[in-house]
Chains A and B, each alone.
Chain A
Amino acid sequence: MVLAWRRASPRIATLRAARPDDPERGGPTAERAARELVEVIGQRKLFQRLVPGMMHAAIFWGFVVLLPTIAEAATAIVDPHAHLPLIGDTAWFGWLVDVFAVAVLVGVVTAVAIRKVQRPDRFRGSHLEEADRILLMITAIVISLLLWQAMRIALGLTGAEGPVSGWLGDLVDGASTGALEAAERGLVWAHLLLVLAFLVYLPGSKHLHIVTAAPNVWLRKSGPGGRLEPLRIDLEAPEEDLRLGAAVATDLTKKQTLDLFSCTECGRCQDVCPAWTTGKPLSPKLLVMDLRDHVAAGTAGQTGEIELQPLVPNAVTDEVVWDCVTCGACVRECPVDIEHVDTIVDLRRNLVMAESRFPSEAGALLRGVEGPGENPWGQPASARMDWAEGLDVRVLAPGDAAPDVLFWVGCAGAFDERAREATRSTVRLLQAAGVDVAVLGQRESCTGDPARRMGHEYLFQTLAEGNVSTLNDAGVTTIVASCAHCFNTLANEYPDYGGTYEVVHHSEFLARLVQEGGLHPSRDSVAVTYHDACYLGRHNGNYDAPRDVLGATTGEIAEMPRNRERSFCCGAGGARFWMEEGGDARINETRYEEAASTGADVVATACPFCLVMLDDASSAAGAGPEVADVATLLARSTLPKG
């Protein structure tokens, strides 16, 4: 036990030294409890893959059920007749133990089969020997338990007899009492020592997750995944108080550190990461493992003193940090609720704000957003209404009465040629439905999403405060946005800066209009597939509204293999739209191929970035489905040409 404690204390010290989290982070207690029930007890996320899910559930539930038997064994060391109070001597308990012990063994066999026979790619980079040792120990513990029970049964020490232990008991029944007693003693000690050895092994291995997983789930961020927690920056504050992201291990929060100790190296995150699967060095799993190893190495053999070397590039390389598209697929997959994206953004915050170290091409994005035009394309503010040429769009001037709906155009929607079509379609549809809609025109600045995802939290803060001020002064209550990123930031992040509005994504607003009869599309019968935008779907749970819009216009959707919450990113997120891409394949081209494989003639999107990325891919491919926004498609079948 002392040994176990000694091995555990560096971990505890690391956690102690970590930064505190926002106590409200995990949400209300009831919500957290529900999460624990569903995810930990119910193993929900593990079941996202059926067979491995069953395998793990068997071992986990078995572990939970068998836990009391350890207590029994501990007391039986002293008094061979000892039993657990109430249940220890009962047959049904014996049955329970046996059934779950067998379940565990079946689980172990399945695990071995997966690891040794199937050899899925997600284990690439994981410490497989560690897993083997754990599985071996589990097997040894369970078998020693069964054998020990068998001895006890043969000796008549217990009535807790189940089918397996009973059968084993019968097998050894013939032996002499002396031999049985010796065996019983030997096995109880063996069992207990194995358990203790397991306990000692635990803190230094990835199996520590059995202790950390439940707390990790408890501390997971509540609310939409697209919201990043604010990092308030006050330039007037004394420099020691200034937090600019995660530079060294102690800058990580307790949750972030616990994340590192919870990783089981299962690789589910790795499997779904768009960067990894297109040949980039970023794997969320490896990132977590590398950070964990770095943090752990800093505390090995010491109590309390954490080695303060910069995390980037010592634990993870710059390239890995910048490869992330913040799509959140990893977070969704993780059975122990590790929040990789938040940690990556914190690393970026330090790189950008404290060290000014980022891919140089992204500098153009920052300069553009910071400069007079306040947009990532570096376009002058005076050009913000160029998209509206020929349309009669009300521009809200200071002092005007607030419109029913403020249409937030966004920078992509205003400046990118292709995205402008979606903007125009949206406005024309809203006007056709008689909605009282206006835009901010030149007074709109970038919401700050790309700056924030890039890690420039201060720039984001400046933009957020500015936009909130503009919106609040104008008395805006309802905002419709056609960009998934704008939508996410306006809806989920602006409240942190004093801006609370009813924010509706254009797909949802349009779907409502169609449903309520404000718009009357005709059926166009086009073979269409829909690409779920990460910032609309996975991060905000909106999968249906765009499909409803399509359902009304084009009919049935040919779904891609990776759709809805499993959607594969277009590659623009995380400010990567402005960065050069390496690797074996391009994320957008990979996704476009998948879309084309459905046989559809049109790929529908609900975000201008997805639109541009997939359209680029379509140009690269030379041939393939057309890419169009849902609003454009709706407009085609609803409005007269023009």
Chain B
Amino acid sequence: MWIWADVAPEGVVSSAFELLTKARAIGSDVGAVALGPGAAGAADRLGEHGAARVYTSDDERLAEPTSRVAAHTLAALVAEHSPGIVLFPSSYRGRDVAGRLQAITGSTLMANAVDLPSIDRARAEILGGTTIVEVDLAGPSPHLVLMRPRSFEPEAVGGTAEVVTVDIVEPPGRATVVQVVEQTEAAADGPSLDGAKVVLAGGRGLGGPDGFRLLEELGDAIGDTAIGASRAAVDAGWVPYAMQIGQTGSTVKPEVYLAAGISGALQHAVGMKGSRRIVAITKDPEAPILKLADLGVVGDLFQVLPSLTEEVRRRTGR
């Protein structure tokens, strides 16, 4: 069993630890593949979380945006060592590498898995989270499985991994270089409404543009959060139209949608009711959004939001 470890210059991404923990639950002798700048330092931590072996390369070319180099390098490793399964995180890089690898090896690929009963079986939630399916995986090795984030709790078990440095493999055919022309850090705008795990949205109840600062602080504490708004707040000129969620505006399906000071009229609801979990904070006990929410709080958001931010900071240590 292998796992793909996402690496960044700062080090290995924690999704790798979750995957390792799961892989170890199924079999021993778990290998980890860490390809890309920053992989060098990863071996120790991967070993701590249960990797028996780490295949690694720091080569700069692995960072190129198409993931062709990474995929072909991984394909060569797979051909040499024949793992039965490779687990990937559902990250930008993970999906790209897994997708390309599938074409090279002709393996089956299962996405959005939440659990792995065995090497040959994966479990996923489909149809907007209403249905759970168990899927038999067949076809040539390795099976490729993309796991949803935070499906497992990572567990450090101590241990060291054998480190195997590998050479990269260039993809066949003509060399097409996709260049990165410029890069921007997430700091400025944060994840877009589209991909954020958590969306915090503010409405008329925030009383003005300043109210959105409360949401921003909460977002910083939670992480991977985007800030949205109801039409009322956009119409009032407090925030730009790009943040509008609703029938006119964006539709979002985050893991958690928190609505503060939003009544939840149909116009807005159509844009967010696909969210996995909905929290609503409003002072109006009759607000329609309370019917949509998994957890509805009737109260003063100017009290609830700061105290929630504090509580989240306390728990996550941010």
Which A residues have a C-beta under 8 Å from some C-beta of B? 361, 364, 377-379, 415-418, 578, 580, 612, 616, 619-620
Contact = CB atoms under 8 A, between A and B. Distances in A.
Interface in B257-287: 263, 265-266, 270
Given A361-B248, A378-B247, 6 more contacts: A377-B247, A377-B270, A417-B265, A417-B266, A417-B291, A619-B204
B248 A580 contact: yes
B105 to A, nearest CB: 39
Nearest to A416: B266
B158 interface: no
B288 interface: yes
Nearest to A622: B204
A528 to B, nearest CB: 20
23 contacts: A361-B248, A364-B248, A377-B247, A377-B266, A378-B270, A379-B270, A415-B266, A416-B265, A416-B266, A417-B266, A417-B288, A417-B291, A418-B265, A418-B288, A578-B247, A578-B248, A580-B248, A612-B265, A616-B265, A619-B204, A619-B263, A620-B204, A620-B232
Nearest to A376: B247
Contacts of A612: 265
| Interface residues of chain A: helix, strand, loop or mixed (majority) | helix
Contacts of B266: 377, 415-417
Interface of B: 204, 232, 247-248, 263, 265-266, 270, 288, 291
Contacts, number: 27
Contacts of A379: 270
Contacts of A378: 247, 270
Nearest to A364: B247
A578 B248 CA distance: 8
Contacts of A416: 265-266
Nearest to A379: B270
Contacts of B288: 417-418
A230 B291 CA distance: 42
Nearest to B263: A619
A612 B291 CA distance: 18
In the complex, the 3 A-B pairs of residues with the closest C-beta atoms, listed nearest first: A417-B288, A361-B248, A416-B266
B5 to A, nearest CB: 41
Nearest to A415: B266
Nearest to B269: A417
A365 B266 CA distance: 13
A590 to B, nearest CB: 16
A612 B266 CA distance: 11
B246 to A, nearest CB: 10
Contacts of B270: 377-379
Name the residue among B248, B265, B291 with the largest chain A CB count within 10 angstroms.
B248
Contacts of A616: 265
Contacts of A619: 204, 263
A378 B269 CA distance: 11
A417 B204 CA distance: 18
Contacts of A417: 265-266, 288, 291
B234 to A, nearest CB: 10
A578 B265 CA distance: 14
Contacts of A620: 204, 232
Contacts of A580: 248
Nearest to B247: A364
A353 B288 CA distance: 36
Contacts of B248: 361, 364, 578, 580
A386 B291 CA distance: 13
Nearest to B234: A580
Contacts of B247: 364, 377-378, 578
A443 B248 CA distance: 27
